[in-house]
């Protein structure tokens, strides 16, 4: 019975995705061990290090469906690591003792680390597809609502007007940076491992680097400048990258939860029958995806910290920190996949109420444009005096509930310089959006560059 939500029959497609679970499944991991062994045999046969018929026989059996997983489990529990049991089964499958050429000059960690990198390569392709999908959804929202005015909020209070398109474009810019980060980290991270017992390739009699180069060509991975058995910055970098990505998802979820509040009601998650229902309150439409994203983001962040702990390893082969990666790296990727899938679903079906956005702009009787009024009066009254005067009038709005425009138009100091029509223009939130539209356009143009 699965006990993790990642594998739960009920929750698994809420907290993760089938595609990402497949990448980090037992079957795919063992297949990656076998891919390494086959690539090593082919590379060494090409260089004359092992016989060609041995390489052919080894490759013939490097298929996960030939591995006995019951036996693998028992042997792993006895030995402590799964690679040697896989190699033992592979050797036994080969005819005429040719399997003895298998694993020539390699060590357990070479296979384990390279298999992990191969899994990371597959997993990052899935991450990239979701990043692209989220960026596309944000771009569509930014373009559609480029000029849709809404309240900007600071310290949970209305601040000055902006547009919903601008809000989406700020998030889009962050996801474009994530896409750039992914492009930049791939060459650092997608590097194989082949160093032998202590990383020096001493067992290959002076041909180690030659074999290493051919092996990495076979696997289409970067060749390491030097062994990285206990120098784990590239693995930690992946975890930190996923922490950044899910952090952005968490930001989106937080904002949407706040905008869904009954007192706000400016956006809603996608709706279908029963989604977000309460078991007792028929009127409720609770956030769902946002809630899951919040939880997933928090756990990924904690697990990324564990990968940073795993960097502190002893000498040339670690006694424990390495195994931290075995535990948390699959979880980080699986939970990140869940957060990205929920974010993509939410944004592609997001319901935006532009009428409520406008109504909320008028909620404070014009106070949201007090800065606009102050700046408009500044050239006539001086900025500081205009600030103090508008501040006092704002207090009157709060005390009386009367519109800011009316109180401004009744002030003789102000009407000496601006009539009611001019003041009305200052008090229209749609006239105080600054460079929001231009900034949206600039972010959208970045995607085409």
Question: What does DSSP say about strands 267-268 and 149-154: parallel, antiparallel, or unpaired?
Answer: unpaired
Q: Which residue has the tokens 């005015």?
A: 149
Three-state DSSP class for 264?
coil
Cα–chain center distance at 345: 14
Please state, in angstroms and rounded to a whole number, the distance separating the CA atoms of residues 85 and 217. 26
Residue 363, Cβ neighbours under 10 Å: how many? Answer: 13
Please state, in angstroms and rounded to a whole number, the distance separating the CA atoms of residues 83 and 89. 10
Distances (CA, A) of 209 to 205, 206, 213: 10, 8, 6
Please state, in angstroms and rounded to a whole number, the distance separating the CA atoms of residues 13 and 117. 25
Phi, psi angle pair for 365, to nearest 5°: 60, 30
Q: Which residues contact 61 (CB under 8 A, 6 or more apart)?
A: 90, 93, 94, 99
Q: Which residues contact 225 (CB under 8 A, 6 or more apart)?
A: none
Half-sphere exposure of 133 (CA within 13 A, CB side): 19
Please state, in angstroms and rounded to a whole number, the distance separating the CA atoms of residues 265 and 150. 12
The residues that are catalytic are 278, 317
Phi, psi angle pair for 151, to nearest 5°: -80, 125
Of 13, 25, 5, 99, whose CA–CA distance to 59 is shortest?
99
Q: Which residue has the tokens 């990052």?
A: 124
274: left (phi over 0), alpha (psi -120 to 50) or beta: left
Cα–chain center distance at 423: 46
């Amino acid at each position: 019975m699965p006990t993790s939500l990642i594998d739960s029959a009920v929750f698994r497609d809420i907290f993760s995705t089938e595609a990402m679970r497949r990448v980090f499944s037992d079957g795919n991991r063992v297949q990656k061990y076998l891919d390494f062994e086959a690539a090593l045999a082919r590379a060494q046969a090409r260089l004359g290090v092992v016989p060609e018929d041995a390489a052919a026989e080894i490759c013939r059996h490097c298929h996960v469906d030939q591995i006995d997983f019951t036996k693998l489990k028992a042997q792993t529990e006895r030995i402590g690591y799964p690679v040697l049991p896989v190699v033992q089964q592979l050797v036994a499958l080969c005819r005429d003792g040719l399997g003895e050429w298998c694993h020539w000059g390699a060590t357990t960690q070479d296979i384990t680390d390279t298999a992990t990198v191969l899994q990371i390569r597959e997993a990052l392709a899935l991450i990239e597809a979701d990043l692209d999908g989220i960026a596309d959804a944000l771009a569509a929202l930014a373009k559609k609502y480029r000029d849709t005015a809404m309240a900007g909020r600071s310290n949970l209070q209305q601040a000055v007007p902006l547009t919903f398109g601008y809000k989406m474009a700020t998030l889009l810019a962050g996801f474009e940076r994530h896409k750039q980060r992914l492009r930049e980290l791939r060459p650092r991270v997608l590097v194989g491992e082949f160093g032998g017992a202590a990383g020096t390739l001493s067992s290959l009699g002076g041909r180690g680097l030659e074999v290493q180069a051919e092996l990495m060509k076979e696997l289409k991975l970067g060749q390491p400048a030097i062994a990285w058995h206990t120098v784990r910055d590239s693995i930690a970098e992946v975890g930190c990258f996923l922490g950044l990505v899910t952090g952005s998802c968490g930001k989106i979820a937080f904002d949407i939860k706040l905008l869904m509040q009954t007192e706000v009601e400016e956006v809603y998650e996608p709706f279908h029958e029963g989604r977000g229902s309460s078991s007792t309150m028929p009127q409720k439409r609770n956030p769902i995806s946002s809630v899951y994203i919040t939880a997933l983001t928090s756990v990924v962040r904690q697990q990324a910290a564990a990968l940073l702990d795993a960097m502190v390893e002893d000498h040339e082969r670690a006694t424990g920190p390495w195994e931290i990666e075995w535990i948390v790296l699959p979880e980080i990727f699986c939970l990140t996949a869940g957060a990205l899938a929920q974010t993509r679903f939410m944004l592609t079906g997001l319901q935006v109420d532009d009428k409520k956005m406008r109504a909320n702009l008028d909620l404070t009787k014009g106070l949201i444009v007090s800065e606009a009024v102050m700046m408009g009066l500044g050239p006539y009254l001086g900025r500081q005096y205009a600030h103090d005067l508008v501040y006092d009038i704002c207090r009157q709005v709060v005390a009386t509930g009367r519109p800011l425009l009316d109180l401004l138009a009744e002030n003789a100091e102000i009407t000496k310089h601006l009539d009611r029509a001019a003041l009305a223009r200052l008090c229209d939130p749609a006239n105080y959006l600054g460079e929001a539209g231009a900034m949206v356009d600039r972010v959208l143009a970045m995607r085409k560059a």
